[in-house]
């Protein structure tokens, strides 16, 4: 990792998150005098060029990641540059002052149904925009959803998704599919072509977990968990929580169907179903949730789990 500023302007500070494709560092942009988040992507494929900033890979990444982040629900991507070794690609993005959705999921203390659905509806609006670009996220999960103080959400890591081709399955350097097994669609598990319905499956996994306090599937070991996603039926939500509306249970089961073509046709259909479940003022977080957000925001540096 370079000690000198990246591209002569971005100073890398403490690590905020560590992931399979790279790490997120808090950074400082000395030109614009502002804090940023920097996603450090390992293993850039670009051959040496005369300048990291002029590399086709960096310019393409900069263009594609901005296409995927020009939405209020996605952190802005400001820049993409290669370091002098051409081994690391740096995505420079907006630093989000928020807390990951994982901090709100507790098996013994369930979220209000309306709040969980409001979060899902916001994520659906972001996916609707992204799928029109088209960009498929591929790794949608609670840790990639940041909740800010007014209970609006930011979906992070779209900068990575925008760089990846959307018409073929993509593997990491270890040969594993990109994604997180707890939220990964059956077609991703099998290494098949990825469509927007993969994101809808992940949204179904998240909504199930937000409403029940537990993942849609649990197992000891990755292979058994993968088997369940491919073959097992999820437990209907009303068996886990009686106050879940029938229509909402049916939506989650629809999102979690094994075949992509059996899921909702598009995310607009999902948004319509979630919006119909919302009372007039469901967007505000419950008081306990707002207090948790403030504690996480002010007890440690602003959170940025990945790039937009």
Q: Are 140 and 251 part of one and the same domain?
A: yes
Out of 59-63, 156-160, 189-193, 223-227, which region has the weakest mean confidence (pLDDT)?
Answer: 59-63
Q: Which residues contact 63 (CB under 8 A, 6 or more apart)?
A: none
Residue 190: CATH number of its domain: 1.10.510.10
Q: Are 28 and 72 part of one and the same domain?
A: yes
Q: Are 109 and 192 part of one and the same domain?
A: yes
Q: Which residues contact 101 (CB under 8 A, 6 or more apart)?
A: 119, 142, 143, 145, 146, 147, 153, 206, 210
Q: Are 178 and 110 part of one and the same domain?
A: yes
Residue 108's pLDDT band (boundaries 50, 70, 90)? confident
Residues forming a β-bridge with 28: 11, 35
Out of 31-40, 244-253, 293-302, which region has the weakest mean confidence (pLDDT)?
Answer: 293-302
Mean pLDDT (whole number) for 28-41: 94
Is 231 inside a domain boundary?
yes
Higher-scoring residue by pLDDT: 114, 159: 114
Is 57 inside a domain boundary?
yes
Select from 65, 93, 121 the last residue of a domain.
Answer: 93
The encoded tokens of residue 53 equal: 């900033």
- What is the per-residue pLDDT across 205-221, written as a single tens digit (0 to 9) for each? 999 999 999 999 998 88
- For helices 267-276 and 246-255, the axis angle rounded to 10 degrees is 160
Is 182 inside a domain boundary?
yes
Residue 110's pLDDT band (boundaries 50, 70, 90)? very high
Q: How many domains does the chain have?
A: 2
Q: Are 165 and 73 part of one and the same domain?
A: no
Q: At residue 24, what are phi and psi to the nearest 5 degrees?
A: -110, 125
Select from 93, 109, 132 the last residue of a domain.
Answer: 93
Q: Tokens 């990964």 map to which residue?
A: 184
**Burial (Cβ within 10 Å: 0-12, 13-18, ≥19) of residue 278:** middle
Higher-scoring residue by pLDDT: 43, 199: 199
Determine the structural domain holding residue 158 and report its residue range.
Answer: 99-299
Q: Are 198 and 248 part of one and the same domain?
A: yes
Instruction: Tell whether the torsion through CA atoms of 182, 185, 191 and 194 is positive or negative.
Output: negative
**Residue of 23, 29, 139, 157 with catalytic role:** 139
Question: According to the model, what pLDDT value does residue 291 have?
Answer: 45
Out of 30-39, 142-151, 266-275, 280-289, which region has the weakest mean confidence (pLDDT)?
Answer: 280-289
Choose from 36-45, 135-144, 168-177, 256-265 the range with maximum mean pLDDT. Answer: 256-265
Is 4 inside a domain boundary?
no
Out of 89-93, 194-198, 255-259, which region has the weakest mean confidence (pLDDT)?
Answer: 89-93
Q: What's the half-sphere exposure (Cβ side, CA atoms, 13 Å) at 202?
A: 30
Q: Are 36 and 120 part of one and the same domain?
A: no
Mean pLDDT of the chain: 79
Question: According to the model, what pLDDT value does residue 51 have?
Answer: 46
Is 1 inside a domain boundary?
no
Q: Are 109 and 46 part of one and the same domain?
A: no
Mean pLDDT (whole number) for 95-116: 92
Q: Are 89 and 207 part of one and the same domain?
A: no
Is 139 inside a domain boundary?
yes
Is 232 inside a domain boundary?
yes
Q: Are 77 and 168 part of one and the same domain?
A: no
Residue 293's pLDDT band (boundaries 50, 70, 90)? very low
DSSP 140: -
Residue 77: CATH number of its domain: 3.30.200.20
Out of 17-31, 91-105, 259-273, which region has the weakest mean confidence (pLDDT)?
Answer: 17-31
Q: Are 230 and 164 part of one and the same domain?
A: yes
Instruction: Report the C-alpha gap between 188 and 192 in whole angstroms.
Output: 6
Question: According to the model, what pLDDT value does residue 49 have?
Answer: 43
Indicate if the pLDDT at residue 50 is higher than 50.
no
Q: Are 32 and 164 part of one and the same domain?
A: no
Is position 139 annotated as part of the catalytic site? Answer: yes
Question: Is pTM beyond 0.85 here?
Answer: no
Q: Tokens 């900068």 map to which residue?
A: 159
Select from 33, 64, 93 the last residue of a domain.
Answer: 93
């Amino acid at each position: 990792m370079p000690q000198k500023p990246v591209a002569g302007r971005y100073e890398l500070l403490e690590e905020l998150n560590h992931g399979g494709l790279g790490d997120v560092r808090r950074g400082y942009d000395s030109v614009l005098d502002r804090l940023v988040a920097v996603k450090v992507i390992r293993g850039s494929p670009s051959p040496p060029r005369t300048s990291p900033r002029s590399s086709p890979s960096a310019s393409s990444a900069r263009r594609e990641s901005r296409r995927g982040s020009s939405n209020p629900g996605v952190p802005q991507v400001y820049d993409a540059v290669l370091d002098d070794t051409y081994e690391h690609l740096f995505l420079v993005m907006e630093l989000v002052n928020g807390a990951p959705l994982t901090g709100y999921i507790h098996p013994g203390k369930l979220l209000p149904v309306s709040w969980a659905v409001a979060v899902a509806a916001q994520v659906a609006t972001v996916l609707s925009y992204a799928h029109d670009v088209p960009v498929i996220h591929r790794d949608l999960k609670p840790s990639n959803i940041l909740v800010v103080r007014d209970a609006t959400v930011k979906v992070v890591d779209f900068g990575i998704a925008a760089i990846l081709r959307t018409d073929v399955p993509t593997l990491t350097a270890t040969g594993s599919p990109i994604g997180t097994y707890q939220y990964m669609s059956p077609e991703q598990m099998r290494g098949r072509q990825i469509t927007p319905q993969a994101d809808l499956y992940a949204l179904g996994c998240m909504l199930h977990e937000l409403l029940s306090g537990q993942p849609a599937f649990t197992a000891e070991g990755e292979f058994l968990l993968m088997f369940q996603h491919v073959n097992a039926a999820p437990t209907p939500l009303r068996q886990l929580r009686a106050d879940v509306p029938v229509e909402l249970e049916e939506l989650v089961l629809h999102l979690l169907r094994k075949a992509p073509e059996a899921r909702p046709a598009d995310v607009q259909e999902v948004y319509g179903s979630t919006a119909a479940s919302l009372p007039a003022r469901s967007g505000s977080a419950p008081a306990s949730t707002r207090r948790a957000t403030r504690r996480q925001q002010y007890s440690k540096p602003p959170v940025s789990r990945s790039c937009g």
